[in-house]
Amino acid sequence: MTVAMNDLSTVRPATRDFLGNEHKNFINGDWRPAIGGKTLAVIDPATGETVSRVADSDAADVNAAVGAARRAFEQRQWQQMKPAARERLLHRLADLMEANIDVLAELESIDNGKSVAVARAVDLPCAIDCLRFMAGMPSKLNGSTLKPSVPFLPDAELFAYANHVPVGVVGAIVPWNFPTLLLTWKIAPALAAGCTVVLKPAEETPLTALFVAKLATEAGFPPGVFNVVTGYGHTAGAAISSHPGIDKVTFTGSTEVGRLILQAATGNLKKVTLELGGKSPAIVMPDADLDIAIPGAASGIFFNHGQVCTAGSRLFVHKSRFDKVVEGIADIARNMKVGPGLHPDTDIGPLVSKVQQDRVCAYIASGRESGAEIIAGGDTPGGGGYFVNPTVFVNTRPDMKIVREEIFGPVLVASPYDDIEDVIAQANDTPYGLGASIWSRDVSMVHRLAPRIRAGTVWVNCHNVIDAALPFGGFKESGWGRENGIDAVKAFTETQTVVLSL
């Protein structure tokens, strides 16, 4: 199969103009080149060509951004801004993103490789929703009043209250799979809580974060409240996680880097939220409606080319339905259109980088070498981009690398199971615990099964359904803390108790 080229001449003039710029960091409301003068290439993964350049920052740039964020945090303008005024700022940013949604979707598609139609229908609307959801929070961030008893002060008349106050300067580090969406999962609750932010987008996908920074200025955020520093994880990212002037790091990425972030955070014991990897099970029960389960499980693994932390990458099907389900998913895989993100017919775009393509292909080779059987895909369509055909493995064993490790590509491993205890054991046989799906019409069975799956989100007859209102995060090595939902904003606060002797 050959794939068409990404045709950049088809994009909007505003998208082309933005790509044409050499981008700087956004610090204290200004655009500043990296202090070391270095830049790095922004690559279109559909072609491997350079489409733009951004600052290649290091510790000095992070330091400047943290200084700006600290000053902004301490300024009366931000500290004393009424909750309703912070709400209006977040709503304005959401409105500006909506007004620019087509340009943002094109930039996301060109930078990440994903289909522009998907970015336009899923990534951007969910990002805008997240801003609007969190925009409602500042005025509702209430604490509690308390009447202490204090045994050693029997005669004292005491009154106390506990307030949520912003944690301070937040460092946000995000991956490349949903660049704009995951950016909003960080900045929306942090800004709603009254924090200031230094954000580092992934090296592979910096463009939409810079575009959002431009919009934040238009929305009227005071200088220094939101800063963007582009560059590599081992330089700019590491400088954020170890910086003594940062009070909290919120990170989404791999479990491996999550551990490095934790170690770096010990210096000033900064607070840490981690959203990490996954190897999520999709469980098809004997009574499942296969007209829903087959396309649903296929979408659970192939959406965003499998580059989803909750991808349903391990499929367990009751042995009575195994052949039918697996053949149905393989058939969908074989018929998916692999192509560039800007092409309207594309189902599966390129993976984000050559590194990611090589990594996924190495997993496919490992699966083949260890004796698993490929019934769809297993190869690349060729061409200059970083494409991998959607792949389905059967005849796998629980000890195989393809079954144990997160592949983060369009690769499904499928196994049959005998009974409910067998599938619970297999589903939980992983160090991860981010997501899971159960496909069944038996409501009572679903309710009995869900709490026995060790995962932060369990979907029933659906997969990868996320929403700003739904708490999201991982058990086990999939992370620390939760994002989204009404409590997410509290993760960016400290509780302060005030005790009065009357």
Residues with catalytic roles: 275, 309
Question: Is residue 382 helix, strand or coil?
Answer: coil
In degrees and rounded to multiples of 5, residue 401 shows phi and psi of -55, -40
For the chain, helix, strand, coil in percent to 5 are: 40, 20, 40
Distance separating alpha carbons of residues 123 and 79, to the nearest angstrom: 31
Q: CB of 61: closest distance to ligand NAP in angstroms? A: 14
If one asks whether residue 66 binds ligand NAP (CB under 6 A), the answer comes out as no
If one asks whether residue 200 binds ligand NAP (CB under 6 A), the answer comes out as yes
Distances (CA, A) of 452 to 270, 403, 405: 33, 20, 22
If one asks whether residue 203 binds Mg ion (CB under 5 A), the answer comes out as no
Distance separating alpha carbons of residues 255 and 276, to the nearest angstrom: 5
The residue at minimum Cβ distance from ligand NAP is 233
Q: CB of 201: closest distance to ligand NAP in angstroms? A: 6
Q: Which does 261 bind (CB under 5 to 8 A by kind): Mg ion, ligand NAP, none?
A: ligand NAP
Residue with tokens 């803390």: 481
Q: What single-letter amino acid sits at 403?
A: V
CB atoms within 10 A of CB 455: 24
If one asks whether residue 296 binds ligand NAP (CB under 6 A), the answer comes out as no
Distance of CA 56 to the CA centre of its chain: 22
If one asks whether residue 58 binds Mg ion (CB under 5 A), the answer comes out as no
Residues 203, 204, 247, 477: which binds Mg ion (CB under 5 A)? 204
In degrees and rounded to multiples of 5, residue 103 shows phi and psi of -70, -45
The interface region with Mg ion, picked from 103-111, 372-380, 412-420, 471-479 by CB under 5 A, is: 103-111
Pick 367 or 456: Cβ nearer ligand NAP: 456
If one asks whether residue 275 binds ligand NAP (CB under 6 A), the answer comes out as yes
If one asks whether residue 247 binds Mg ion (CB under 5 A), the answer comes out as no
If one asks whether residue 111 binds Mg ion (CB under 5 A), the answer comes out as yes
310-349 mask for ligand NAP (x: CB under 6 A)?
Answer: ----------------------------------------
Distances (CA, A) of 468 to 181, 269, 309, 313: 10, 28, 17, 24
Task: Count Cβ neighbours within 10 Å for each residue of 365-402 and write b for 16 or more, e otherwise.
Answer: eebeeeebebbbbbebbebebbbbbbbbbbebeeebeb
- Enumerate residues 14-43 that contact Mg ion by CB under 5 A: 43
If one asks whether residue 115 binds ligand NAP (CB under 6 A), the answer comes out as no
Distance separating alpha carbons of residues 308 and 71, to the nearest angstrom: 36
Q: CB of 458: closest distance to ligand NAP in angstroms? A: 15
- Enumerate residues 207-246 that contact ligand NAP by CB under 6 A: 232-234, 237-238, 241
Total site size for Mg ion, rule CB under 5 A: 3
User: Residues interacting with Mg ion, by CB under 5 A?
Assistant: 43, 111, 204
Q: Which residues would be at the binding site for ligand NAP (CB under 6 A)?
A: 173-177, 200, 202-203, 232-234, 237-238, 241, 252-254, 257, 260-261, 275-278, 309, 406, 408, 434, 474, 479
